[in-house]
A and B are shown apart, each in its own frame.
Chain A
Amino acid sequence: MKKRIGLLFCSLLLVMGTIFAGCSGQSETGGEQNPGQAADQPVASGKKGELTIGVVGDPHSWDPIDTFLLDWSTIATSVFEGLVERTVDLKIQPGLAESWEFTDDKTLQFKLRKGVTFHNGEPFNAEAVKFTFDRLLGEEGAKGPQQANYASIDRVEVVDEYTVNMILKEKDPVLITKLAGYGAVIVPPKYIQEKGDEYFNTHPVGTGPFKMESYEKDNQVVLVKNENYWREGLPKLDKVTFRIIPEATTRLAELNTGAIDIMKKVEISQVSSVEKNENLELMTVGSPTVYAIRFNTKMKPVDDVRVREAIAHAIDVDLLIETILGGYGKRINTFQSDMSFGHDPSIPLREYNPEKAKQLLAEAGVKEGTELEFYFPGTDATFKEIAQAVEIQLAEVGLKVKLNPVDNSTFISELIPNGKAGHMYRQGWGGWTLDFDNTAYLMYHKGEFWNPDFYDEKVEELLAAERSTFDQDKRLEIFKELDRRLYELVPEVPLYQSINLWAVNKRVKGFQPPADERIDLKEVTVE
């Protein structure tokens, strides 16, 4: 104890000294610091076969039907599995189902994998699938946010022990993708019936490659190898610890000290710190999430399409990507990623042209110095910089932008849906089904939660047409027409498709950063 107090005192004295001297010292030695600093980085602090990952947030409820959080999926993907799976590069592959086919328009038949057991020893079979969907579509599911995603399923029928039929209420072109989603992972019937939903919430059991050993909320989740995993020889790791570290600065510090091996969500501002440390590797992955500045198309003066177009021409998106994003972003032409079904690469990017912008503004009769309100979440450090740059660029064409950083949840639940998010606001959307229907319907269909203001007759017609057919070629044609129509109407300025950054200690092998933040640890090893 005495020694510790002594240390404490020393630390305090040092802090005061270093805060003054250290700050400037840090940079002066910045040049030659790299090799020296890297040399005394701990090579590995963890044991062989054990991996520690620093993530942003707690998974909260483990029950798959209760959740919508990316923080959940990052961890829970190692515990639960669905009938179908999406690989880290978003391809669909068989999971717990070996194969599937439509026996008629409204019946989807699955052949299930044999010899799979849950972590508690319970067998995986048709009953488990039926139980899972009964639960998801029934009373229990109604309490959570996942049920709504699976509204097209009517019920699941057991055919034999390893065959089930999924009976549909209506056609759903993206059903298979949805079955790889959070709500459709298979849960153990006996376990839940015996232990109850509340227990399941903190003690999840699935069929995945890892099973839960311990969970301390807001602190850490420890998973250990599932010895009976159905994929032969996998997983390769014995133990994975997820540490929950919300503050990016702290997360990077932990990576630098070697306390964690993988860091989720490296901020762009931290990239050069990671690159400086030769034990670390920066990994990038294109994400389906796209960012745009959306307009409130009912508010003056942005109700005028010329004004919206002018703003699109006044923002130098390429410069933003090059400078603020450090190149970690991909410019997009419409409000969907290039992975999305319905993306049309032939739609041009609006060029940066302040002269044209000024001209359009003059035509629309917008006076110099007109004020526009711009809303975005105050916790989004990168977009905060983007917003400031946009403010500066719009000032050059005579528009005065007032920035409003707001609480993210208020932004999502109150401001956007009620049309109170100013003239323009940030919208980031992933379209998790990778089909433009998800984005287009929710963003442009009149009266949708995310669309309090925009309305166009032609767009409505196209949306209805797209939903009425199963013919993918036809749908693609309709989407392309929709893309063009939206390009003309400028309901938003599409900015960029984001690139997610992960930092990984080089002792970790076989890690591939996932596009949808659901990490696959089956093949990962640690040296």
Chain B
Amino acid sequence: MTAFIARRIVHSLFVVLAITVVIFVLVRLTGDPVAVMFQSGEPTAEAIQELRKNLGLDQPIYIQLAIYVKDMLTGNFGTSFRTGESVFSMIMEKMGATLLLACGGMLTALLIALPVGILSAVKRGSAIDFFGRIFSLLGISFPNFWLGIMLIIIFAVHLKWFPASGYQGPEYLILPSVSLGLILSGILARLIRSSMLEVLNQQYITTARSKGIKEWMVIIKHALRNALIPTVTFIGLQFGTLLGGTVIIEQVFSWPGVGRLVIDAISQRDFPVIQGSVIVLAFLMILVNLVVDISYGFIDPRIKQGGGKSE
């Protein structure tokens, strides 16, 4: 087991490094940040040259990369081209809001998916099952920005139940969380339904039923508990998707998170901020996946034999 964990950690480090290289090269292909900065001024060739030198962009790309990786290993993600602030502290400042949104989305997804999934499984083939599934599929049939706009217009402008955008208190979390979570809820409900079905057909459930235990007790205590194991794993794996989804939701709801930071940075060609944000986001996803994989390894001993589960 220790060997397995060690190997996974080495792999993860490799992946972080690879992502660093990829993003580093990609951003440098997007154009000259100095030209973007001068867009409304009267740049002279010397001024452009000078600024480029100040930003460290006059070096060959592999040297820039080497310096960047070396700094990164000491926890230094450089400073913003635009503001001179430390990139790491900029990201940390925004990470809280993004994680909050991701958790809100996850919570919404669970709140919807659990009842829908359980009911669909228990009443398999009934009208409840049918409509429950249609409902959860409808949730994934809209682009999430559109869902966000509709929620704002209906619940903020017309019904005035929730604030439309920004972040000034817990009630501001509701609409963005729903827009983010609804998409996941569909997939999650489907998963809960199928794992419930699987469990409900097991021997011990039949045994429990035959003992005369109340049906809902059987469902909650015996079935659900076992059905939740794959669900938890799945949630871990979907965390990345949620984080990715925040990029657009933050834009719609003016949510001050990492997604906004990085979209702004892309439009201003603030290379260190783009690189830092992508690396930190990727790192988070890898970390969550690593934890999921390791805990999965504890739950499911087949993993140790190096079977089919991807590493």
Contacts and interface: CB of A to CB of B under 8 A. Distances in A.
State yes or no: do A and B come from one complex.
yes
Interface stretch (B41-49, B220-228, B233-241): B41-49
Interface in B231-288: 251-254, 256-257, 260-261, 264, 266-269
Most chain A beta-carbon contacts within 10 A, residue among B32, B150, B166: B166
Given A217-B93, A243-B166, A4 B174 contact: yes
Interface string B26-47: 0000111101111111111001
Nearest to B46: A148
A244 to B, nearest CB: 6
A68 B38 contact: yes
Nearest to A13: B135
A8 B44 CA distance: 57
Contacts of A216: 256
Contacts of A142: 47, 50-51, 54
A461 B95 CA distance: 56
Interface string B48-85: 00110010000000000000000000000000001111
Contact of B54 (A58, A143, A245, A449): A143
B12 interface: no
A410 B254 contact: no
B35 A414 contact: yes
B256 A217 contact: yes
B14 interface: no
Contacts of B256: 216-219, 244
A432 interface: yes
B15 interface: no
Contacts of A414: 30-32, 35
Nearest to A201: B83
A254 B83 contact: no
A102 to B, nearest CB: 22
Given A12-B178, A15-B154, A253-B153, A148 B47 contact: yes
A245 B166 CA distance: 8
Interface stretch (B118-126, B156-164, B194-202, B296-304): B156-164
Interface string A213-246: 0001111100000000000000000000001111
A338 to B, nearest CB: 20
A22 B153 CA distance: 10
Contacts of B93: 217
Nearest to A430: B40
Nearest to A449: B43
Most chain A beta-carbon contacts within 10 A, residue among B37, B39, B147, B264: B39
A246 B254 contact: yes
Contacts of B31: 409-410, 413-414
Nearest to B152: A253
A148 B44 contact: yes
Interface in A49-91: 57-58, 60-61, 63, 66, 68
Contacts of B82: 60-61, 66
Contacts of B111: 5, 8-9
Contacts of B267: 407-409
Contact of B167 (A4, A219, A442): A219
Interface string A407-450: 11110111001000000000000101000001001100000010
Contact of A11 (B84, B90, B160, B178): B178
Contact of B165 (A7, A146, A245): A245
B264 to A, nearest CB: 7
A253 B156 contact: yes
Interface residues of B, number: 65
B106 interface: no
A8 B156 contact: no
B144 interface: no
A149 interface: yes
Given A218-B94, A256-B157, A413-B35, A19 B164 contact: no
Most chain A beta-carbon contacts within 10 A, residue among B83, B150, B155: B83
A250 B266 contact: no
B41 A146 contact: yes
A287 interface: no
B108 interface: yes
A257 interface: yes
B94 to A, nearest CB: 7
B182 interface: yes
A145 B41 contact: yes
B16 interface: no
B182 A253 contact: no
B128 interface: no
B92 interface: no
B266 A409 contact: yes
B260 A218 contact: yes
Contacts of B269: 409, 413
Contact of A250 (B35, B155, B254, B261): B254
Contacts of B178: 8, 11-12, 15
B153 A68 contact: no
Contacts of B154: 14-15, 18, 22
A42 B156 CA distance: 12
Given A16-B135, A148-B42, A257 B35 contact: no
A524 to B, nearest CB: 22
A197 interface: yes
B254 A219 contact: yes
A8 B266 CA distance: 34
B294 interface: no
Given A142-B50, A148-B38, A148-B42, A250 B164 contact: yes
Contacts of B264: 57-58, 60, 218
B108 A68 contact: no
B277 to A, nearest CB: 12
B1 interface: no
A96 to B, nearest CB: 23
A180 B40 CA distance: 15
A413 B32 contact: yes
A249 interface: yes
Contacts of B152: 249-250, 253
Interface of A: 4-5, 7-9, 11-12, 14-16, 18-19, 22, 42, 57-58, 60-61, 63, 66, 68, 142-149, 151, 197-198, 201-202, 216-220, 243-247, 249-250, 253-254, 256-257, 259, 407-410, 412-414, 417, 430, 432, 438, 441-442, 449
15 contacts: A11-B155, A12-B182, A14-B154, A16-B138, A22-B154, A60-B83, A148-B44, A198-B84, A216-B256, A217-B256, A218-B264, A250-B164, A253-B164, A259-B164, A409-B266
Given A61-B83, A449-B38, 19 more contacts: A4-B174, A7-B161, A19-B150, A197-B84, A198-B85, A202-B83, A217-B90, A218-B257, A220-B166, A244-B256, A246-B254, A254-B164, A254-B165, A254-B166, A409-B31, A409-B269, A412-B35, A412-B36, A413-B36
Closest 6 A-B residue pairs measured CB to CB? A413-B35, A219-B256, A61-B83, A414-B31, A413-B31, A218-B256
